[in-house]
Structure 1
Amino acid sequence: MTVSSPSRHPIRVLPPDVAERIAAGEVIDRPAAAAKELIENALDAGARHIRVEVRGGGLEFLRVADDGCGIPATEVELAVARHATSKIACFEDLGRLTTLGFRGEALASIAAIGELTLSSAVSGASAGAGVTVRFGQVLERGTRARTPGTTVTVRDLFGNVPARRAFLKTQRVESARIGEVVRRYAVGRPDVGFTLVFDGRPAFHSAGDGDLRRVLAALYGLGAAEALAPLRGELPSGGRLHGLVGTGGPWHSGRQHVTLFVNGRWVRAGALPAAVEAAYRPFAPAGRHPLLVLFLEVPPDQIDANVHPAKLEVRLRDEEAVAEAIRAAVALAFGRTPAGAGASLSLQYRLPLARTRRVRRVAEPPMTYGQGGPPAEELPAGLRFLATARDGLIVAEADDGLYLVDQHRAHERVLFEALQAGAGEGPQALLEPRLVRPSPAQAALLAARAEELAALGFVLEGFGAGALVARAVPGALGSLDGEALAALLEAAMSDAADWRERLLATAACRAAVKKGQPLDAETARALLARLTSARAPAVCPHGAPVVVRLADGLLARLFRW
């Protein structure tokens, strides 16, 4: 992620007409919300290192310290005034927004419900300045000895709002929510080092070297981070998307491992998170979610960040086109990346092993980041056939490991793409034409789709009042039994927007070689060659995995080579 150093503007109180037109003010409803605002201020200030300290769930003590550009001594007290900000000067600036904050309410909102101490210094100044505000009243102001940057310390949060405290969770839960905020922004800004301390004990640290996989390895483990597939794509109006996604699991019951950033802003609500889930849903088990981190970078004039009180939602000018770009990028990542077996095979380590003499190894260095096997990669072009196994698997190898290929799903993918491309063998007449009696609505759909169906190789003709007869199907499908043909006609009469893809997926599934159907070596080699030439060889048209890769690094760990 490319981030430019901010050019600092003086802090000014927004004119009343501008303040009134900004979406509802800051809502500090729990310590994590205060932490979020302070971290965003630090990032806006160009910080390279941010330290967050928490005691008592953030209610007793919350401190965020950074090494950003700092605040001049003459503006420190103004910084805690309501609607005072350096980020915009007029309402039109919202259309040119390059910062996370813009309302000038965070510090004032926190100071109104707790004791806030702000200390800051700028580069080249002989000393810094500070101010302490408790429940909206200034208690202290003066000079401070500090290196360039800003420290905000909050004590006794909600001390004057006992009713709000009564609705909060336990200190452990509130601390965990602050931890989630810190970790999300560590993922969103891998170029910034984050340190999190709970009750005097270090809880998390990121190096700030710009390596997203390293941050994810610290959060989820080395194997999970290295098994992620890249997301890439172009967005309308010159934007782009990039990120990482776990195409082969592990799968999670909640969405807490799916993270979306739009121009560096963590977005949790609205149409965009829904578009992300819709993109991976065809490939994920029902009710499960992958580890996914997605960054959208769009021109500032294409985004409206002023739509949610807590700034958790944004709107884009062309959200439908952006959603389609997200869908295409996610589909490509799942379609081109074979599932890894590391997550499931890690269970092998829990099995009892035979008792052996313990051998001390003195020459092997400990495994470090980057040595746990290659990252998720696309299916190599030169798979070499080895054998068939388990009545449905093709065993192959490449230079990076072994590959297990589901023969039914592989053939299904090959047929699906051939049907999509119109590369079939033309219509094939049915030995026994099938009579269909659709409802009036279904008959209307079939009539409207007659040309498209004929182009695909499906020939339907009228046969008396309200009846149709199916006379031919695409030649690539071979012979179909009555049950398979009925399923195809049912798909052709679907009122879903993606009826064509569903029809082709059903056709490919019904015509593909089945599990348990033996393949000779020549047929298996031909199927592998066709699969590696497919656009999305790693998943079948229904989203299930086609290929599992046993990487050399995994085999070396399992066999202790």
Structure 2
Amino acid sequence: MANKIIVLEEDIVSKIAAGEVVERPASVVKELLENALDAQSSQVSFEIKDGGKRLIKVSDDGWGMSSSDAKLALLRHSTSKIKSLGDLFSISTLGFRGEALPSIAAVSYLELVSREKDSLEGVKVKAEGGKILEVKKIGCPPGTEVLIRDLFYNTPARLKYLKTASTEIAHISKVVTTQALSHPQVSFKLVHNGMTIFNSPSTPTPYQAVIDVYGKDLAKDLLELEFTHPSLDIKGFIGKPSISRASRAHQTFFVNSRPVRSKILFHALGEAYQGLIPGGRHPLAILYLKIRPELIDVNVHPAKLEVRFLREKEVHNLVQEAIRKCLTSAQLIPELRLKEPLPQKEVGSYPRAERKYQFVQETSPTLSLREVREEYQRGRPSFEEIAVLGQVFQTYLLAEDRDEFLIIDQHALHERIIFEELMKTKKSSGVPSQSLLIPLTLQLEPKQALSLKENLNSLKEIGFVLEDFGGNTFIIRAVPSVLKVENEQILFDLIDEISEESLQSKERITWEKIIQMVACKAAVKAGENLSRREAEALLKEFQNLENPFSCPHGRPTVIRMKKSDLERQFGRR
């Protein structure tokens, strides 16, 4: 009887290993970039074609490799970075497993050219699908150049799931710009299809790298942080509470120069800003932590993106303390507590009460929309039949409709109203724009700029008038009139959402989807006080909606309780 269990062939093993290390072109760039930085390179350049599907070329001026080392580098688990088991507990390099190059070679056509600085000649190695085809001596400059063609050519299922070239280069730019923040002393240049999309010269200060990545406008609103403790050193930059964002996309942590994701660090940052920014908003931060290597474990994730701390609670508390001290020393806490509310404004065609603007992403209970629709058979109520009772939690409107008690999510309802209004005007006469008295100049990070360029036409279709000013700079001359923009924050939130949506989608974002985003940004938020007149204005529009029972994202706008159900709860029936 034949054995059911067999030992897999080496090429199958290599492709399985590649699946853990190489998810997309950005994974290739990440691994090659880490090798370049570990080789003490002072400049690294990237040439990308078709989002990395057709070509990825990474060149550096680092240590280089000898002919024998270049051949060994393509063998699995061959590395110069650890030599014993004990080295795993004190890792100081970005890479250490010896899996990157062999995994990349297993799913591409690879060409490696390298020369050590004290050597007169270099070496060229060619491989196809993980098999070395050629090794020869050549003349070349010191350093290493790795050229990858036709990534995933032999694994069509992986190739099929890659996104558009714009999406893939956006992922690549995120990898490069993140490392530029961590290694300001290194010069980085990223070229895609012949166009330079990121260029960061060598600089002795991390602040200049922040300017290169995020632009001067954002950098000027950052506070420099420096904190020293026997267990942990923390340096970096944190955003003023006034420039919070709707997502954590602008939170970057480095542990011993390694970019990491850590729930401990995210939580500590959020706790430090408690009471300074509205719920659902996230502060900006670029923080560099230096800790003894034996006190962390970076070998917990295939892409080495996660880190475990031996003393998690201590790290959490120290990070929170460092941020809080920085905010306090900048005298932001008392200033924010005394800040006056903004004057009365209007959103859309609905009057707004005087209040502070709070841009909050709210959560909602899990409810069955089908049940709401099925039970609500009496037709849409007329405005005269609904009596507004008040507002609770600055989020929900309470109303009475004959023998029913209504609870309305003010954000969800207003979002649905704006969405349907914009959709109707777009299909009839076009979404009206309002010109800005002073055109707004936005300097974006490369990932955001790439996403915006890809979706310019969709934005123009719904009332935006904006120009690509070159590089990563855009000029906005007009916006949909419903936005009533008082500051840049709502635009940055919209751009962040477009950027994140682009990274997840294989297609360009439609104007319908962007209208959905605009409606969400323009609507009243959870946490905002509404006057009775404002509440009545929202409910009056309820009866005119085509789909009044859910917001454009599918969340319910209203739930109801019959008088008889309420009486049963109190034992009256």
Q: Same fold (TM over 0.5)?
A: yes
1:463 matched residue in structure 2:
none
Picking from 346, 351, 355, the partner of 2:437 is 351
Q: CA 1:110–1:278 in 2, change beyond 3 Å: closer, same or farther?
A: farther
| 1:330 pairs with 2:330 | no
Aligned with 2:253: secondary structure? strand
Q: Residue 352 of structure 1: CA displacement? A: 5.7
Unmatched runs of 5 consecutive residues or more in structure 2: 1-16, 337-341, 343-434, 440-573
1:69 matched residue in structure 2:
63
Residue-by-residue CA offset, 1:272-311 (whole Å, 9 max, x unaligned): 3343333334433222223210011011211111111110
Calculate the TM-score normalised by the size of structure 2. 0.54
2:103 matched residue in structure 1:
109
The whole-number CA distance in structure 1 between the counterparts of 2:300 and 2:81 is 17
The whole-number CA distance in structure 2 between the counterparts of 1:50 and 1:274 is 34
Give the aligned residue type for 2:437. Answer: L
Picking from 14, 25, 33, the partner of 2:27 is 33
1:498 matched residue in structure 2:
none
1:472 matched residue in structure 2:
none
2:482 matched residue in structure 1:
none
1:456-467 correspondence runs (5 A): none
Q: Residue 66 of structure 1: CA displacement? A: 0.6
1:479 matched residue in structure 2:
none
Residue-by-residue CA offset, 1:379-430 (whole Å, 9 max, x unaligned): xxxxxxxxxxxxxxxxxxxxxxxxxxxxxxxxxxxxxxxxxxxxxxxxxxxx
2:284 matched residue in structure 1:
291
The whole-number CA distance in structure 1 between the counterparts of 2:158 and 2:145 is 26
Picking from 38, 44, 54, the partner of 1:50 is 44
Aligned with 2:273: secondary structure? helix
1:447-486 correspondence runs (5 A): none
Contact 1:119 1:151 in 2 (8 A): yes
Contact 2:18 2:107 in 1 (8 A): no
Picking from 250, 265, 272, the partner of 2:265 is 272
Larger Rg: 1
Q: CA 1:54–1:60 in 2, change beyond 3 Å: closer, same or farther?
A: same
Q: Which moved more, 1:97-106 or 1:251-260?
A: 251-260
1:234 matched residue in structure 2:
228
The whole-number CA distance in structure 1 between the counterparts of 2:291 and 2:18 is 24
1:64-213 correspondence runs (5 A): 64-213=58-207
Contact 1:206 1:218 in 2 (8 A): yes
1:510 matched residue in structure 2:
none
Give the aligned residue type for 1:51. Answer: S
Contact 2:182 2:257 in 1 (8 A): yes
Segments ≥4 residues shifted beyond 6 Å: none
Contact 2:113 2:144 in 1 (8 A): yes
Picking from 246, 249, 254, the partner of 1:256 is 249
Contact 1:25 1:309 in 2 (8 A): no
The whole-number CA distance in structure 2 between the counterparts of 1:31 and 1:352 is 40
Picking from 305, 318, 337, the partner of 2:311 is 318
The whole-number CA distance in structure 1 between the counterparts of 2:111 and 2:270 is 41
Q: Residue 319 of structure 1: CA displacement? A: 1.4
Aligned with 1:232: secondary structure? strand
1:505-516 correspondence runs (5 A): none
Aligned with 2:73: secondary structure? helix
The whole-number CA distance in structure 1 between the counterparts of 2:18 and 2:306 is 13
Contact 2:261 2:307 in 1 (8 A): no
1:378-397 correspondence runs (5 A): none
Q: Residue 335 of structure 1: CA displacement? A: 2.0
Aligned with 1:351: secondary structure? strand
The whole-number CA distance in structure 2 between the counterparts of 1:198 and 1:269 is 31
Q: Residue 270 of structure 1: CA displacement? A: 4.3
The whole-number CA distance in structure 1 between the counterparts of 2:200 and 2:129 is 34
Q: Residue 123 of structure 1: CA displacement? A: 1.1
Unmatched runs of 5 consecutive residues or more in structure 1: 1-22, 354-561
Residue-by-residue CA offset, 1:460-501 (whole Å, 9 max, x unaligned): xxxxxxxxxxxxxxxxxxxxxxxxxxxxxxxxxxxxxxxxxx
Residue-by-residue CA offset, 1:245-291 (whole Å, 9 max, x unaligned): 11143222121111000001100244333433333344332222232
The whole-number CA distance in structure 1 between the counterparts of 2:310 and 2:18 is 21
Contact 1:122 1:128 in 2 (8 A): yes
The whole-number CA distance in structure 2 between the counterparts of 1:175 and 1:94 is 33
Contact 1:70 1:120 in 2 (8 A): yes
Q: CA 1:74–1:249 in 2, change beyond 3 Å: closer, same or farther?
A: same
Residue-by-residue CA offset, 1:73-127 (whole Å, 9 max, x unaligned): 2211111110000000112101121101010000000000111111110112111
1:246 matched residue in structure 2:
239
Root mean square deviation of aligned Cα: 2.3
Give the aligned residue type for 1:195. Answer: K
Q: Residue 337 of structure 1: CA displacement? A: 1.8
The whole-number CA distance in structure 2 between the counterparts of 1:263 and 1:131 is 32
The whole-number CA distance in structure 2 between the counterparts of 1:220 and 1:139 is 43
How many residue pairs are counted as aligned between the two chains? 324
